[in-house]
Amino acid sequence: MPNIVSEAGLQTRAGQWWDSIPFLTSAVVIVCGVIYLICLLVGYDSFYEVCFLPEAIVSHFQVYRIYTSIIFHGSLLHVLFNMLALVPLGSELERIMGSIRMLYTIILLATSNAIFHLIIALVVAHNPFHPFEHLMNECAIGFSGILFSMIVIETSLSGVQSRSVFGLFNVPAKWYAFILLVVFQLLMTNVSLLGHLCGILSGFAYTFGLFNFLIPGPSFYTAIESSSWLASCVRRPKFILCSGGNPSAYIPTYTAQNSSSGALFSGNIWRNLSSWMPQRGTTAQPAQDDPRFPGRGRTLGSVQNTAVNSDSNLQARLLDNSRPTSPSDIAAAVAGERLSNERQLQVNDAVAVGAGGYPLPQMPQVASEEQIQKLLSMGFERTQVEVAIAAADGDLNVAVEILMSQQG
Catalytic site positions: 144, 196
Q: Report CA torsion sign: 245, 248, 252, 258.
A: negative
Radius of gyration of the chain (CA): 37
H/E run at residue 176:
helix 176-187
Burial of 263 (0-12, 13-18, 19+ CB in 10 A): exposed
Cβ-based neighbours of 20, under 8 Å, separated by 6 or more: 91
Cβ-based neighbours of 36, under 8 Å, separated by 6 or more: 72, 73, 76, 79
Q: Report CA torsion sign: 321, 322, 328, 330.
A: negative
Residue type, 99: S
Distance CA 306, CA 268 (A): 45
Label residues 55-83 b or e (16+ Cβ within 10 Å = b): bbbeeeebeebbebbbbbbbeeebbebbb
**Could you tell me how far CA 406 lies from the centroid of its own chain?**
46
- Could you give the dihedral angle defined by the CA atoms of residues 390, 393, 395 and 399, in that order, rounded to the nearest 10 degrees? -40
Beta pairing, strands 169-172 & 162-165: antiparallel
Cα–Cα nearest to 137, from 54, 232, 254, 238: 54
Bridge partners of residue 52, in order along the sequence:
140
Distance CA 289, CA 299 (A): 12
Q: Pinpoint the alpha helices (H) of 171-323.
A: 176-187, 193-207, 218-225, 231-234, 269-276, 302-318
